[in-house]
Chain A
Amino acid sequence: AQTVTQSQPEMSVQEAETVTLSCTYDTSENNYYLFWYKQPPSRQMILVIRQEAYKQQNATENRFSVNFQKAAKSFSLKISDSQLGDTAMYFCALGVEWTDKLIFGTGTRLQVFP
């Protein structure tokens, strides 16, 4: 069975600072994909960043980057220069096949303070 664990229910950070959200996962598959989604109060699930497991290079999207440690099955999200608009729930997710479901973690609520 595949699982995703987010051990930080809530995090807070001051505007312009850096914050890291943790995620660990478990799967017996060799090829898989990892995602971070953001869900603001509008409830829209927005893709933040994705990582292919076969790529050693960590994915980066502007202020968002990941630290992917395949052996440790760890996939953390770093948000640099935090902005008020980053306030949201962040979900880590695991996918194996494009035809298959995503397995989501329980989420981390991030609050960015001015």
Chain B
Amino acid sequence: SAVISQKPSRDICQRGTSLTIQCQVDSQVTMMFWYRQQPGQSLTLIATANQGSEATYESGFVIDKFPISRPNLTFSTLTVSNMSPEDSSIYLCSLAPERTDTQYFGPGTRLTVL
């Protein structure tokens, strides 16, 4: 399986600021996904990031709050904008290798908003 890294691994931010999370993969993949895991909760998909097209957002998530970039087949970023304490979560990127049914996850970014 692909090696996935995320930066930063954790951060503590002040409300009203923005944080950009990077996801780097060691091989080319078409489909990348961004999930949020709120404290003590399960994972919820934020958006699907396809290289060369706009990200597709799930209900309840909007581009202004969570802009995503996908400049190439090995890299994606998720920005959490104008943060509030409710944004405190673990953010995980995942990928699905071509024509496989399995998603592999990055190590996650633990975000705390004060």
B and A form one assembly:
yes
Rounded to whole Å, the gap between the CB of B20 and the closest CB of chain A is 19
B17 close to A (CB within 8 Å) = no
A99 close to B (CB within 8 Å) = yes
Contact A95–B103 (Cβ < 8 Å): yes
Contact A91–B108 (Cβ < 8 Å): no
Closest residue of chain A to B42 (Cβ to Cβ) is A104
Contact B42–A43 (Cβ < 8 Å): no
Q: A43-B107, A50-B102 are contacts. A107–B42 as well, Cβ < 8 Å? A: yes
A84 close to B (CB within 8 Å) = no
A56 close to B (CB within 8 Å) = no
| Cβ–Cβ < 8 Å partners of A33 in chain B | 101-102
CA of A105 to CA of B37 in the docked complex: distance in angstroms? 12
Instruction: Indicate with 1 or 0, residue by residue over B96-109, a CB within 8 angstroms of chain A CB atoms.
Output: 10011111110110
Contact A45–B108 (Cβ < 8 Å): yes
Instruction: Indicate with 1 or 0, residue by residue over B1-13, a CB within 8 angstroms of chain A CB atoms.
Output: 1000000000000
28 contacts between A and B (CB under 8 A): A33-B101, A33-B102, A35-B102, A37-B105, A42-B107, A43-B37, A43-B90, A43-B108, A44-B105, A45-B94, A47-B102, A50-B101, A52-B101, A91-B42, A91-B43, A95-B101, A97-B101, A98-B96, A98-B99, A99-B31, A99-B96, A101-B33, A101-B45, A101-B58, A104-B43, A104-B44, A105-B42, A107-B42
Residues on A facing B (Cβ under 8 Å): 33, 35, 37, 42-47, 50, 52, 91, 95, 97-102, 104-107
